Amino acid sequence: MAQTQVKVGDKIPEYLYFGLLDNNEDEPKKMTSGEVFKGKKVVLFGIPGAFTSVCSSKHLPQFVDNYDKFKAKGIDTIACTAVNDPYVLREWANAHKVGSKVLMLGDGEMSFHSALGLTQRLPFAGERGLRFSMFVDDSVIKILNVEDPGPLNYKISGPENMLKLLEESGKK
């Protein structure tokens, strides 16, 4: 697991922000982490970049495919974040027919990733986010899966592992 600043039990600050762009909008709007997480059960996954190999072939499509399973477990929102602008995330979501199943949160200014220590430097891409998934309950991180740095690492941050961990945490 990669070294990060954030850990299970930490509360996500409410003032961090993302860029969000719906299909019918021309200009992105700001959405704070408080708006995303406060009073909700959220599964958030982070990727190194939209339109990249593992992110496009596995990570995003598998979360979309498992949407109903997450909803059945009481998850209010499945969200994806990347160090990309909201225009890129909107086009990527459209290319994968995401619809309203995944909230696409652009972190082009790295407000979220930097504050939580979820960054990595990649050749030819610069500063990017680590690949991760987390379950956040009312702004508190309950489950955190952070992959080792690198654009292709994908072992613990996928939906199957998150669903398994949610199941296990519900039995305690």
Name 110's Cβ contacts closer than 8 Å, sequence gap at least 6: 83, 119, 127, 129
Q: Is 55 a catalytic residue?
A: yes
**Model pLDDT for residues 117-132, shown as the tens digit of each residue:** 998 877 677 678 898 9
Q: 17-170 has which fold?
A: Glutaredoxin (3.40.30)
**CA atoms of 32 and 120, how far apart (whole Å):** 23
Which residues, listed in sequence order, are joined to residue 44 by a DSSP beta bridge? 79, 134
- The confidence score (pLDDT) of residue 1 equals 43
Between 142 and 53, whose confidence is greater? 142
Average pLDDT value for residue range 137-158:
90
Q: Is the pLDDT of residue 44 over 50?
A: yes
Out of 20, 21, 55, 118, the active site residue is 55
- Which region among 53-62, 64-73, 85-94, 96-105 has the lowest average model confidence (pLDDT)? 53-62
**CA atoms of 51 and 5, how far apart (whole Å):** 27
What ranges do the domains of the chain cover?
17-170
Please tell me which of 4-8, 12-16, 51-55 the model is most confident about, judged by mean pLDDT: 12-16
Average pLDDT value for residue range 52-57:
72
